[in-house]
Amino acid sequence: MCDRCAASVARLRAGLEPQAQPATLEVRADTTQVAFPVVGLEPNLQIGDFRIERRLGAGGMGVVYQAVQLSLNRRVALKVLPFGPTAGAPAVERFRREARAAAQLCHPGIVTVFAEGAERNVCYFAMEMIEGRNLDAVIAGLKRRPSLGARRGDWQPQSADRTPERDAPSPCLLVDCKTEGQYFHAVARLIAGAAEALHYAHGHGIIHRDVKPSNLMLSRDGRLILLDFGIARICEEHGMTLTSSFVGTPRYMSPEQIAGGDDKPDHRCDIYSLGATLYELLTLEPLVDGDTQHQVIHQILSDTVRRPRQINRRIPLDLDTICCKAIEKDPARRYQSAAELAEDLRRFISGRVIRARRPGPARRLGKLICRHKTITALVCLLTAVSATAASIGWKHYSTRWAQQYAMAEIDTLLEQKDYFAALRLAERAERYIPNDPLLIDRWPRLSREFNVITTPPGSRIYIREYFRTDGGWKYLGRTPLRGVRIPYGTYRWKAMKSGFVPLETVQTNDPPQSNAGPTALLAGQLSFTLQDAATSPPDMVWIPPSNLDQMDMYHGRRLILLAPAYYIDKYEVTNRQFQEFVDAGGYENAGFWKEEFSRDGKILPWSEAVQQFRDQTGRFGPASWRDGACPKGQEDYPVGGVSWFEAMAYAEFRGKDLPTVFHWALAARADDHSCTIVGMSNFGTGPAPVGTFPGMGKFGLCDAAGNVREWCSNSLEGMPDARCILGGAWDEHAYSFSAGGGARSPWDRDLRNGLRCVQYIGGREAVPPMALAPVEHKCRDLEYFTPVSDEVFASYLDTWYRYDPAELNARIEKSDYDLDYCRTVRVSFDAAYPGERVVAYLYLPEEARPPCQTVVWFPGDEARDSPWTERCCTHEMTAIIRSGRALVVPIYKGTYDRRLSRVYPPEGVQSRNLCIQRSQDLRRTIDYLKTRDDIDVTRLAYVGLSWGGQMGPILIATEPRFKTGILLHGGLCACKRHPASDPANFAPRVTIPILMINNATDSIFPIDAAQKPLFDLLGTPPQQKKHILFPGEHGIAWECRGEYHKAILDWLDGHLGPVATAAQSPCEKDAAGGQRSN
């Protein structure tokens, strides 16, 4: 054997014979295994201070031996640069660089370097000898162990020149885990430690660039130690390369390391590599698993990897999120430091919220598109073609829908006067047929354009249908608005701007008359002024400078021009607010009581007068309270049971005033659209918390109608001991809001007496004196009145009231049992005058035996302003029907659904003609009743309420078929009237029995000025007419209703006879039931 062969045999025995480089990774081996022949050292060979014991392994940058340092007698790991063809100057420099890099670091997670040297052309350095296993060997062992239930792959990482000693089983933190939870927490702890070691190295300017399982050693004490800084780069040094275009192990390299380019990889490439190692520990599968280096590089640069939880659903979601953030392809999306990665892993271990977040839908979609570019392109093409076809089809369908269906539906809504819904539908149709002439023709029929400005500009404007409080607000835009379409009808408007008090108002957009000219279609103008929130008093609305009008209240007509602006409470004063006055000692502080206490002509001292203002238990407070407090749960109800003096003292306590009649009327009844207010207000069965009912006036005032009455500061002319009180109470008729106005003694503490306050801008001194003066209160002077002669009266009847008999052409339009105590029949018939039909509602009691006694009803003043609804059925009507009598309500000319758009002077010809038409409507109604078998027209009664009580003499005197009449809360009006429609001329011609029921302190129809004159003028024999007085203002208090109803029914029983309410036979009941079911 020659020397050359002997040397080769020796090398083979030592395991140092060079190995060939495989052409491909047939067993999916790590592509960074030894790429050059390994030339090693014999055992027992001494190099410097170190004696070789055995070979531990080999890597890309050298061979590692177990050795003994002779001088210190300690076992070390000796890394030797292989001698051979590759051991040139660049390799030697790189080898020494690793030694220097590792020597700079002292961290429990980084291997310690003891010494470095060169001998016999062999370069080496000595480092800490660690007892443990390489992480790649641990992972290989975990794959062969199915106990954790993780998926096992067939890929096994190949470490460099593995020996049986290194693969021998040893205690291992990961292998010894009994549950998946323990395993995942152990993985998180190990990688967190490695991340902290990397952060330490990065802090010293060193980037490892080859972090992978084979360069991580799991020690026996549970530490994961970073090895092999063979290709580490010191940040300040440059020019390091290998023979290839990149350095590191491709399978664990970051995309920027592989891609190269001008931007050199920074410390974030180590974060990616550690993340790839974490991925492999979690899934027991490699991050990329190509069979060739080319495939591996392509997957790293282009492919989207599966999330760990897509491989194993048992991996915790937070750990999955941490791992995915660490292996982001874009360095900017990764953790920006290894410390951040370690912190999130520590948060996961301790159960805290991690900082990393899963990618959003947009990023996931983007990744999906990048992963399937061809399919995405095909899908986009197909989508574009489908969208084009769908667009053409949709345009055809939409145009057809707008021209055929929408136009017809708009016409239907216009007939129903549902302009808001018609506008919404027209706006939808406009998207498809904007220039259609039929649509253009409908715009002025359903809406009008408005220009809207606000002070300040830039306010957001909304509208909502007034009567549909459950509907949403429609946003119109920011002011100034030009040409915005507003549907006809009544709407709530809202203007809002930051820093200003939101403004709510009610505006009516009336449709033009059929004969209106072109100017009726000109754009309307609306202007709103918002108040600065910093200077406006809370919960008060601002009323702009305006003319103050008495609005015919108390039959007066005073007008005050250009009164200054003021504030008024948005809501009535609540029990909670009044409690603050009581708790502050308001009743004990004479400074709040500025008014003179006058009673029966005598002036009382404050100390004596205030004793009158105690609650039900004798403590100071409203009459509705007990023990100095309101009933529990009623803190937000309006305070009731206060006298005028208490209301004035409370206003003084707040630094405010009670409103004058003029200021209250402007704020509550501006534009006098009473029907829009009373229909949505509390005229019910009891008070309600303020703001519960949606009734609202032009300026945004709530609860002005109903709930409780509200004291005003004025007295009445000629009635110094009376104070004005307005708005009506919850148990009064709705007309009490708009009727002449009420007045009570300032000492009156009725439970329905409440208040709201005003704050005059500039103080009380700025208020016009006429507004503070006693209110004009007109009464008719009948001292020298003489009714017209019989001849003149007969001419009235012959000339105007008489009509020729004609066919009724009656038609029953509806019949139902919506009310549980009667059947309701809606009927219409021709009027006595041409071109119109009269509608009447006939209520037939269910238990009465026909033919029925019948009452013809004439309503109160609210009928002139409100549409007909079931709420128009008053408690008097209900009592009459329940007594077993039929009741009929003709819709008289100018009332309910036949109401007029304007009011005519009572003394004029138009008012006279209206009175005649109403008389004819009543008599045509009786003509219709005569055609029914279930009505006994020989027993008819007239009952009129308030306005109906005032008009009663005319309607009874012109209709001889009435057997009796009842006038409720009526009297002679103070207004001057046309002689042919003056009740005073008709009253002497009334000769049938008449019952008058009134109130003792009625200020609309006072006893001496209105009630008694009418009673005395009646031509009824004295023994057949009766006048009953109930306490209180205009209307009957809740407590008196039982007695009030009894008086009405007793009178009807006495003059029409008892009602036949005998039980029906079974056959009759079956027939009625069958009719009802139909």
Q: What is 385-449 written as a DSSP string?
A: HHHHHHHHHHHHHHHHIIIIIIHHHHHHHHHTT-HHHHHHHHHHHHTT-TT-HHHHHHHHHHEEE
DSSP state of 214: G
Q: Which two tokens stand for residue 997?
A: 């029921």
| CATH 3.90.1580.10-classified regions of the chain | 563-772
Q: What is the pLDDT of residues 609-621, one digit of tens each?
A: 999 999 999 999 9
Beta strands 837-845 and 62-69 are: unpaired
| CATH 1.10.510.10-classified regions of the chain | 134-144+173-234+250-356
Terminal-to-terminal C-alpha distance of the chain: 126
Beta strands 935-945 and 852-858 are: parallel
Please count the other Cβ atoms lying within 10 Å of the Cβ belonging to residue 927. 18
Q: Which two tokens stand for residue 402?
A: 């707008």
| CATH 2.60.40-classified regions of the chain | 400-513+520-529
Distance, in Å, from the CA atom of 1021 to the CA atom of 1017, rounded to the nearest integer, reads: 11
Domain 45-129, CATH:
3.30.200.20
- Give, for 192, the enclosing helix (H) or strand (E): helix 180-203
Q: Given 30, 136, 161, 210, which residue is catalytic? A: 210
Distance, in Å, from the CA atom of 886 to the CA atom of 877, rounded to the nearest integer, reads: 10
Q: What is the pLDDT of residues 746-756, one digit of tens each?
A: 999 999 999 99
Distance, in Å, from the CA atom of 168 to the CA atom of 156, rounded to the nearest integer, reads: 16
pTM: 0.58
| Range of lowest pLDDT (157-161, 179-183, 207-211) | 157-161
From 996, 893, 986, select the one nearest 943 (Cα to Cα).
996
Task: Please name the residues in contact with 340: beta carbons below 8 A apart, sequence gap of 6 or more.
Answer: 355
DSSP state of 894: B
Q: Which two tokens stand for residue 226?
A: 């970073």
- Report helix, strand or coil for 568: strand
Task: Specify the pLDDT at position 85.
Answer: 47
Does the pLDDT value for residue 30 go beyond 50? no
Distance, in Å, from the CA atom of 174 to the CA atom of 220, rounded to the nearest integer, reads: 11
Distance, in Å, from the CA atom of 271 to the CA atom of 519, rounded to the nearest integer, reads: 78
Q: What is the pLDDT of residues 151-164, one digit of tens each?
A: 444 434 334 344 33
Contact of 219 with 132, CB cutoff 8 Å: yes
Contact of 94 with 61, CB cutoff 8 Å: yes
Instruction: Tell me the sheet residues that pair with 1026.
Output: 995
Per the rule left: phi > 0, alpha: psi between -120 and 50, beta: everything else, 574 is beta
Look up tokens 């009505």; give the residue. 935
Does the pLDDT value for residue 232 go beyond 90? no
Distance, in Å, from the CA atom of 996 to the CA atom of 992, rounded to the nearest integer, reads: 13
Contact of 893 with 919, CB cutoff 8 Å: no
Does the pLDDT value for residue 519 go beyond 60? no
Does the pLDDT value for residue 566 go beyond 70? yes
Residue 50 dihedral angles phi and psi, to the nearest 5°: -125, 140
Q: How confident is the model at residue 4 (pLDDT cuts 50, 70, 90)?
A: very low
Active site residue 583: no
- Report helix, strand or coil for 890: strand
Distance, in Å, from the CA atom of 1029 to the CA atom of 1036, rounded to the nearest integer, reads: 10
Using omega within 30 degrees of 0 as the cis cutoff, is the peptide bond preceding 487 cis?
no
| CATH 3.40.50.1820-classified regions of the chain | 790-1054
Residue 661, judged by CB atoms within 10 A of its CB (0-12, 13-18, 19+), counts as buried
| Range of lowest pLDDT (78-92, 786-800, 863-877) | 78-92
Does the domain made of 563-772 have the CATH classification 2.120.10.30?
Answer: no
Q: What is the pLDDT of residues 384-414, one digit of tens each?
A: 888 888 888 878 888 889 888 889 999 999 9
Residue 525 dihedral angles phi and psi, to the nearest 5°: -125, 130
Residue bearing the bigger pLDDT, 926 or 562: 926
Amino acid at 313: R
Taking only Cα atoms into account, the Rg of the chain, rounded to an integer number of angstroms, comes to 50
Residue bearing the bigger pLDDT, 223 or 676: 223
Residue 392, judged by CB atoms within 10 A of its CB (0-12, 13-18, 19+), counts as exposed
Across all residues in the chain, what is the average pLDDT?
84
Task: Specify the pLDDT at position 97.
Answer: 73
Three-point CA angle 492, 726, 679, nearest 5°: 40
Look up tokens 């007045």; give the residue. 743
Write down the H helix ranges in 210-305. 255-259, 268-283, 293-301
DSSP state of 865: T
Q: How confident is the model at residue 520 (pLDDT cuts 50, 70, 90)?
A: low
Residue 303 dihedral angles phi and psi, to the nearest 5°: -75, 155
Chain centre distance of CA 667: 29
Beta strands 474-478 and 460-465 are: antiparallel
Task: Specify the pLDDT at position 155.
Answer: 38
Sheet holding 758-760, edge to edge: 540-543, 566-569, 758-760
The architecture that CATH gives domain 400-513+520-529 is: Sandwich (2.60)
Q: What is the pLDDT of residues 250-269, one digit of tens each?
A: 888 999 888 876 667 889 99
Amino acid at 136: D
Residue bearing the bigger pLDDT, 165 or 899: 899
| Range of lowest pLDDT (110-114, 354-358, 392-396, 634-638) | 392-396
CA–CA distances in Å: residue 747 to residues 647, 720, 744, 775: 11, 13, 8, 19
The architecture that CATH gives domain 134-144+173-234+250-356 is: Orthogonal Bundle (1.10)
Q: Which two tokens stand for residue 430?
A: 């406009």
Q: Which two tokens stand for residue 988?
A: 């002497």
Residue 899 dihedral angles phi and psi, to the nearest 5°: -70, 160
Task: Please name the residues in contact with 790: beta carbons below 8 A apart, sequence gap of 6 or more.
Answer: none
Does the pLDDT value for residue 997 go beyond 50? yes
Distance, in Å, from the CA atom of 429 to the CA atom of 411, rounded to the nearest integer, reads: 13
Rounded (10°) angle between helices 361-371 and 373-400? 120
Superfamily of domain 790-1054: Alpha/Beta hydrolase fold, catalytic domain (3.40.50.1820)
Q: What is the pLDDT of residues 309-360, one digit of tens each?
A: 999 999 999 999 999 999 999 999 999 999 999 999 999 999 899 988 876 6
Contact of 707 with 638, CB cutoff 8 Å: yes
| CATH 3.30.200.20-classified regions of the chain | 45-129
